[in-house]
Structure 1
Amino acid sequence: MVNGSGTRYGAIAQFFHWCTAILVLVAFIYGPGGPEQRVYSSAHEFDRRLHETLGLCVFALAVIRLLWRAFDTRPAAPDGPRWMSVLATVVQWVLYLLLLALPLTAITGAWLQGHPLTLVAGIEISPLFAASHGAGATFASVHEWLGDLIMWLAGLHALAALFHHIVLKDDVLTTMLPRWFPTGRTRSSR
């Protein structure tokens, strides 16, 4: 099922979700982090290139996800307190905002510091505006802070899905899992 239904997300939305999660995690792991001298050192060249490449992929995927979301059918929210539904919606939109803001702050910070965007394929995209090192350092710091924030928020998002599955015993988690993924539930328990 490519499109979503009233009971679960479609295969494309599931692919976007899990691909985004994996890309963000790998980008976080390979982010060189730290002071500018460390990030742009030759010892961290591959990590930086991989991190920047994955960041661009995350940005592109987030834009595509948002476009797909505009046309796709999403499952209905489970029965429960209104605050849970509101909180889930807020967290989803904050995650989308972070998926867009993280790459944009990284690119802006690098360019303001006078560094090109460097990709794994050996492609370099030169800064599109004049250097302002102090502003670039600020954007780089914001990028690091947002990177930590998205990991915490994604972790809480995952814990909430597990809470729904294990404690509330509803189908929130299974709506985003492929049909073939074992959930430990039989059809009669749904």
Structure 2
Amino acid sequence: MITHYSFAIRLLHWLTLLALLAAYGSIESRSWIDFTPGQRKVVAITHVYAGMSVLIMMLTRVFLRSKRALNMTQPSGHSRLAQWGHGLLYLLFITLPLLSLTARYFRGREWSWLGLAMPITDTPNPALAKSLMAWHMDLAQLGYWLIAAHTLAALYHHVIKKDNTLRAMRLWGK
């Protein structure tokens, strides 16, 4: 059973969830809302900013977790399963934004993030950019399954095992 997470880890967990909701929500909304071209641009920008936020928060979480091992007393099978699950979440939500950034790099069109000009190649490769975005879109579907599995695992701990795993991730209170 997990005894506690640092406030930074808990805060980043919930902020990452909000950023993922914005990233997935913005991209999914395009299929059921008829946006004007201006609105589509706002939705696309929202998706990119949310994705960049996910990348920064996930890398920060990896750094923080590497600095401080969690106090876990779960049976080794549960522990290994949790480590694999978290590892897949971290890997996916670092890989997705990196695929998109790399695709933008090879697209060769100028773009900025938070007012900073982002690097682009001098020799664009549209075919590679398109391939990277296809990987981004295909792998993004895996995110739904990993998020669902993560949520079900938290509910399993809370409802069936009745341990404090879910409570240990609360943002406020003990």
Q: Distance in 1 between matches of 2:97 and 2:158?
A: 32
Q: 1:158 Cα deviation (Å)?
A: 0.8
Match of 1:98 among 92, 99, 113: 92
Match of 1:114 in 2: 108
Q: Specify the code of the residue in structure 2 equivalent to 1:94.
A: L
Match of 1:168 in 2: 161
Match of 2:121 among 128, 132, 136: 128
CA contact (8 A) 2:5 2:168 kept: yes
Runs of 4+ with >6 A deviation: none
Normalized against structure 2, the TM-score is what?
0.83
Higher relative contact order (CA closer than 8 Å, sequence separation 6+): 2
- Greater helix percent: which structure? 2
Q: 1:105 Cα deviation (Å)?
A: 0.3
Q: Say what the alpha-carbon RMSD is for the aligned residues.
A: 2.4
Match of 2:170 in 1: 177
1:86-131 residue CA offsets vs partner (Å, 9 max, x unmatched) = 1110111111111211111011122323334454x56553523521
CA contact (8 A) 1:16 1:65 kept: yes
Q: Distance in 1 between matches of 2:42 and 2:120?
A: 20
Match of 2:72 among 57, 71, 76: 76
Residue identity over aligned pairs, in percent, reads 25
CA spacing shift, 1:24–1:116, aligned 2, 3 Å: farther
Q: Specify the code of the residue in structure 2 equivalent to 1:104.
A: L
Normalized against structure 1, the TM-score is what?
0.77
Match of 2:152 among 159, 177, 182: 159
Question: Are 1:89 and 2:83 counterparts?
Answer: yes
Q: Distance in 2 between matches of 1:101 and 1:109?
A: 12
For residues 51-62 of structure 1, what are the structure 2 equivalents within 5 Å? 51-62=47-58
Match of 1:24 in 2: 20
Match of 1:185 in 2: none
